[in-house]
Structure 1
Amino acid sequence: MSTFRTLDDLPDDATVLVRLDLNSPIEDGEPQDNRRFERHARTVRELAEAGHRVACLAHQGRPGGGDFTSLSGHAAILADHIGRDVGFVADTYGDEAVAAIEALAAGEVLLLENTRMCGDELPEASPEEKADTEFVRTLAPLFDAYVNDAYSAAHRKHASLVGFPLVLPAYAGRVMQSEYEANTAIARKEFDGPVTMVVGGTKATDVIGVMDALEGTVDRFLLGGVAGELFLRAAGHPVGRDLEGMDLFDEQWAANHEVVEEILAARADEVHLATDLAYEDADGDRAEHRVADIDEKTVAYLDVGTGTVEAYDPLIRESDAVFVKGALGVFEDERFSVGTVGVLEAIADTDCFSVVGGGDTSRAIEMYGLDEADFSHVSIAGGAYIRALTGEPLPAVELLEASAEA
């Protein structure tokens, strides 16, 4: 277990600066409600109900990106989830922000403007450098405590994540606490039966790194997505290649084929590959090819096939723990949701410890009417989840621990 302090350790009657991760899809200029608002609302609501004065920091997109926008719309969504007003100020640490923070009364909540609109926020730098920015030096004296609830950004060395814990007593919010405990379980917990990892998604480089790092920890990997095709390519099948106009496979193959081939050679009995793959036929319907029958890749494969799902099902059901990183197909299209949803249904129906990681994959639970309560933990983190699985340090978590020790 971590040694950081949580909300249970926070003194009464505090003015608290809370870092959330409300980064959301933007449609027609407006943020879309998602699981992150619901999760972070628990921390903010608990602080407000305890009578603290709460000011929140969060980010949205990156400068120059199409989703880089103000947080004014985020405040309204957060308010709906908390069940109380959330004030908003279009300023992060200027005079307007300072005045709004100083005016907070007990139980009031304020959301400050997008941290990434501040020049001090984004460049990765040491915590000491970030603590010495005008951003941190201006805001810190206004607060009694800093609460980091942004586990999904904990791998970043940005000012709002690593600067404040050096100058304020620092605590973990409920999202930070629950995400850390679940996502480090693969290295920390003892399991009596098989430990299975479902590996998919489009970022094969990330998941191949996880597979390499978890040698001896995971008993078997069930593959799909881009990584699954790359492993099939390494096994001698004519897939895992880009077709014209595609940019998914060849570059990742060049970067990872040596590791893929090493994993396959050394741990072939642990790596379970798709036996069939699904594609869109000329009529726009789902169709499937048996991998053994593919002589040349002529179509884009968008899901594992039904035979693969049937083969993976008993392996999941006899597992003591299942970790999911990435979808097995393009589940957003119902025709190609068979792999992802089939695996999630098997996990939900099994009495095992289960963690579904990554914001995209977790969306399938909601989209297809599965009950989140049937999983031990549904993570909203992407990069931080990868780091937790591979045992890499998370700077924001390390600083919470250091603050507790200090």
Structure 2
Amino acid sequence: MFKTLDDIGSGNRVLVRLDLNSPVEDGIVRDNRRFERHARTVRELVETGNRVVVMAHQGRPGRDSFISLDQHADLLAEYVETPVAFVDDVHGEAAIEAIRSLGAGEVLLLENVRMCDDELPEKTPAEHAESAFVRALAPEFDCYVNDAYSAAHRAHASLVGFPLVLPAYAGRVMEAEYEANTSIASREFDGPVTMVLGGAKATDVIDVMSALDEAIDHYLLGGIVGELFLRAAGYDVGYDVGDTELYDHQWADNEARIRELLAERGDRIHLPFDLAYERDDARAEVPVADVKKDQPLLDVGSLTVGRYGNVIEDSAAVFVKGALGVFEDERFADGTVGILESIASTDCFSVIGGGDTSRAIELYGLDEEYFSHVSIAGGAYVRALTGQSLPAVDALRDSECDASGV
């Protein structure tokens, strides 16, 4: 296991990696729960008199969301409740000067780390540790904290290079996400374990189902993957209509595995009983046996929500990956929101994962306190569920730097 903030003393120079990647609309960075979550780690370090320097990323080169982090500093400051200075440099002279001038209890945010050429190449920790980026910054710090669990599936320099050259610790988000998202394998539950699976990335969902095998008692399917499984079961759904390109290529890639899973685990896989579509600008529902797919199907139906809710009510643990419908449109939020409400009203251990699903909680005013854990991770959550390694977590766990002076 890795060390945490509990193992860090006071008065240190701490380099912290957060994931502040956020939606950008017309050049404006939108607030999201990542700022609030990560603020706890920064605030704890500030309150113990540490000098805190934050690294984070925004977007990818070539995309509209690839912008400076100057706005992020102000958003983070609101939650940390202390000023967050910003320097438009990652590891050059301006960054080093700003780092050295930082006082105890002060916070500095460096420029978008993906503007550094050394950051994005997928390399080994040893290779990243030798980069100009890591070699320039590491001597300025006593220790490194990684709180960016949602980026932990990336082998980028800011995530895996520093633990090789600095004492390394997990922040509070990293600690909580790791514990919750590995609980299927690490915990025993006194009753059935249910997984709700949806969203647009059917291959991810099928990978999760294949990896978990006997660990799950019930799979409740919706979204794109729900239609693909219904197609394999002989219903007239699960293919593209109009200009959609969501189903056919995923069917071609996964048909054999879908049919195999149905054959092996058909008694544990629950498929939608009815589906919703748009008719005269309103929501309409139809039993799956009566569907003639000539337009997009946008949600599971009310009968499905009720029956899935009955399964959830009898579960000891429920894990969610992906939305069951196009919940951004209130007319087609019944499936996703209905299932979340069922989980919230049930006394079970629950983990809500995937960026879209967690966003639905916020969008429809559900209280996070009714769930055991609401993950802010996407790809890392899937990899944790499928038992794949997370390079940044491995780097923390494998860090052997001497922490005696911290």
The answer on 1:374 being equivalent to 2:370 is: yes
1:11 Cα deviation after fit:
2.7
> Residue deviations 1:135-184, cap 9 Å, x none?
00000000000000000000100000000000000000000000000000
| Superposition map of 1:99-248 within 5 A | 99-248=97-246
The answer on 1:39 being equivalent to 2:37 is: yes
The answer on 1:307 being equivalent to 2:303 is: yes
- Give the number of aligned pairs: 402
Work out whether residues 149 and 176 of structure 1, in 8 Å CA contact, stay in contact via their aligned partners in 2: yes
Q: Among 304, 324, 331, which residue is 2:320 paired with?
A: 324
**Structure 1 unmatched runs, 5+:** none
For residues 400 and 47 of structure 2, the distance between their equivalents in structure 1, rounded to whole angstroms, comes to 24
The answer on 1:396 being equivalent to 2:388 is: no
Q: Percent identity among equivalent residues?
A: 66
Give the AA of the match of 1:349. S
Work out whether residues 214 and 390 of structure 1, in 8 Å CA contact, stay in contact via their aligned partners in 2: yes
For residues 248 and 123 of structure 1, the distance between their equivalents in structure 2, rounded to whole angstroms, comes to 29
SS at match of 1:54: strand
For residues 240 and 143 of structure 1, the distance between their equivalents in structure 2, rounded to whole angstroms, comes to 53
For residues 84 and 405 of structure 1, the distance between their equivalents in structure 2, rounded to whole angstroms, comes to 31
Give the AA of the match of 1:342. G
Give the AA of the match of 1:156. R
For residues 127 and 39 of structure 1, the distance between their equivalents in structure 2, rounded to whole angstroms, comes to 27
Q: Among 26, 46, 52, which residue is 1:28 paired with?
A: 26
1:404 Cα deviation after fit:
5.4
> Residue deviations 1:342-395, cap 9 Å, x none?
000000000000000011110111111111000000000000000110110111
TM-score (structure 1 length as normaliser): 0.98
For residues 254 and 47 of structure 1, the distance between their equivalents in structure 2, rounded to whole angstroms, comes to 50
1:399 Cα deviation after fit:
1.1
| Superposition map of 1:59-74 within 5 A | 59-74=57-72
Work out whether residues 313 and 343 of structure 2, in 8 Å CA contact, stay in contact via their aligned partners in 1: yes
Give the AA of the match of 2:281. G
Q: Among 331, 338, 345, which residue is 1:342 paired with?
A: 338
Work out whether residues 20 and 56 of structure 1, in 8 Å CA contact, stay in contact via their aligned partners in 2: yes
User: Equivalent residue for 2:2?
Assistant: 4
Give the AA of the match of 1:330. V
Give the AA of the match of 1:172. A
SS at match of 1:345: helix
For residues 216 and 339 of structure 2, the distance between their equivalents in structure 1, rounded to whole angstroms, comes to 17
For residues 116 and 255 of structure 1, the distance between their equivalents in structure 2, rounded to whole angstroms, comes to 32
Work out whether residues 165 and 401 of structure 2, in 8 Å CA contact, stay in contact via their aligned partners in 1: no
**Off by >6 Å, runs of 4+ in structure 1:** none
TM-score (structure 2 length as normaliser): 0.98
Work out whether residues 5 and 404 of structure 1, in 8 Å CA contact, stay in contact via their aligned partners in 2: no
Work out whether residues 18 and 56 of structure 1, in 8 Å CA contact, stay in contact via their aligned partners in 2: yes
RMSD across aligned C-alpha pairs, in angstroms?
A: 0.9
1:12 Cα deviation after fit:
2.1
Check 1:219–1:405 CA distance in 2 against 1; reply closer, same or farther (3 A cut): farther
For residues 100 and 89 of structure 1, the distance between their equivalents in structure 2, rounded to whole angstroms, comes to 7
